Amino acid sequence: MHKTILITGGAGFIGSHVIRLFVNNYPYYKIVNLDELTYAGNLENLRDVENASNYVFEKGDIVDRKYIEDLFARYNFDGVIHLAAESHVDRSITNPMEFIMTNVVGTVNLLNTAKTSWRGNEQGKLFYHVSTDEVYGSLGDTGLFLETTPYDPQSPYSSSKASSDHFVRAYGNTYGMPFVISNCSNNYGPNQFPEKLLPLFINNIRHGKTLPVYGDGKFTRDWLYVVDHARAIDKIYHEGRNRETYNIGGFNEWTNIDLIKVLCKQMDVALGNPIGTADGLITYVKDRPGHDKRYAIDANKLKNELGWKPSLQFEEGLAKTIAWYLDNQQWMDNVTSGDYQKYYEQQYS
């Protein structure tokens, strides 16, 4: 069946993998990628699909009400998959207002416009909001986040995402907006901006630069290969139940320092260096303020209800990821020129 779907933030890390999957799997859909191309948005991520006949790129800001209304009027969307966001916790600590504008105001702007555009004709429409496990806050040594875990966000980033989740549910409850929300753990893989742990450390190892480990390095995250997140989004978009929330995760918990040690070893092998070379770059630095101790996610609802599960073991995903960054050094060099240097100095000096 033909559908016109708006995917926001499609030039970013996860969004570009979602766009690729939808453009390739659904030739009879029209996929509209709306992205403002902030520092994190990069059309190079989509070179392989940019000329596909079922794909259109639109540059614009989700906060701009008039622009969003015009876009909905032009395309008459059947669905929205909303990924556009400010996504980096450290940046939210330095500049929370940008996060409130994009993540909260931008989301409400999309909801309002979808509500007006779909009013009285909600059948077959869907607003899919892509969110994070960080809305649940920080766990102790045991336990897992369930879909029913109360929200307890701790950083400006997670607070802005929690707020946007609440607005999506409020629009469902108050105006009958058809919606689904998913909350995913840490993604890794190709095309991730090198402010996030893995691509930052891969790039630093390549350049023989120190690896800044926050605090004692004993913080725990669950890691999922980005293509598996895109596969989950596809499943939930097509088969998820209206008004439901689905947790997405890799069943794959690591403390930062253990993960970094595996990365160092794989990088030494990939670069042909003696084992221990990258390890020598590890440097413990001042902790992130309010650093969440542990995230761990129970993704069994998605697994049992919709039959999704991660396709890759972590070591295999990590090897693929390292190979991608080493094979695409030009991509890395392009995104780390210019403003990136300023960011790096501010964050790590």
Residues contacting residue 41 through CB under 8 Å, at least 6 positions apart: 9, 11, 12, 35
Over the window 143 to 182, marking each residue x when it contacts ligand DAU by CB under 6 A and - when it does not, the resulting string is ----------------------------------------
Q: Which of residues 274-313 bind ligand DAU (CB under 6 A)?
A: 288, 295
| CA distance linking residue 173 with residue 249, whole number of Å | 27
Residue pair 336/328 in contact (Cβ under 8 Å)? The answer is no
In the structure encoding, which two tokens stand for residue 195, read together? 């402010």
Place of tokens 């919709």: 306
343 binds ligand DAU (CB under 6 A): no
Place of tokens 């799997």: 25
H-type alpha helices, the chain: 13-25, 65-75, 89-94, 96-99, 107-118, 156-175, 197-206, 226-239, 256-271, 300-306, 314-327, 329-335, 339-348
Q: Which DSSP string do the residues of 246-289 spell out, in sequence order? A: EEE--S-EEEHHHHHHHHHHHHHHHHTPPTTTGGGGEEEEPPPT
339 is catalytic: no
Q: Closer CB to ligand NAD, residue 111 or residue 281?
A: 111
Q: Could you say which of 134, 165, 228, 253 is catalytic?
A: 134
157 is catalytic: yes
Q: Which does 84 bind (CB under 5 to 8 A by kind): ligand DAU, ligand NAD, none?
A: ligand NAD
Strand order in the sheet with 186-188: 186-188, 220-225, 253-255
Over the window 237 to 276, marking each residue x when it contacts ligand DAU by CB under 6 A and - when it does not, the resulting string is -------------------x--------------------
Could you write out the three-class secondary structure of 287-301?
A: CCCCCCCECCECCHH
Q: Which of residues 7-66 bind ligand DAU (CB under 6 A)?
A: none
Query: Minimum distance between the CB of residue 229 and ligand NAD, rounded to whole angstroms?
Result: 7
Closest chain position to ligand DAU (CB): 132
| CA distance linking residue 23 with residue 19, whole number of Å | 6
Q: Could you say which of 55, 67, 136, 157 is catalytic?
A: 157
69 is catalytic: no
Residue pair 76/69 in contact (Cβ under 8 Å)? The answer is no
Over the window 91 to 110, marking each residue x when it contacts ligand DAU by CB under 6 A and - when it does not, the resulting string is --------------------
134 binds ligand DAU (CB under 6 A): yes
Q: Closer CB to ligand DAU, residue 283 or residue 329?
A: 283
Burial of residue 293 (number of CB atoms within 10 Å: 0-12, 13-18, 19+): middle
Query: Minimum distance between the CB of residue 152 and ligand NAD, rounded to whole angstroms?
Result: 17
Over the window 177 to 206, marking each residue x when it contacts ligand DAU by CB under 6 A and - when it does not, the resulting string is --------xx---------xx--x------
Binding site for ligand NAD (CB under 6 A): 8-9, 11-15, 35-38, 40-41, 61-63, 83-85, 87, 102, 106, 130, 132, 161, 184, 186-187, 193
Stretch that binds ligand DAU, among 97-105, 127-135, 224-232, 269-277 (CB under 6 A): 127-135
Contact residues for ligand DAU (CB under 6 A)? 87-89, 132-134, 185-186, 196-197, 200, 212-214, 219, 221, 256, 288, 295
* Residues labelled as active-site residues: 133-134, 157
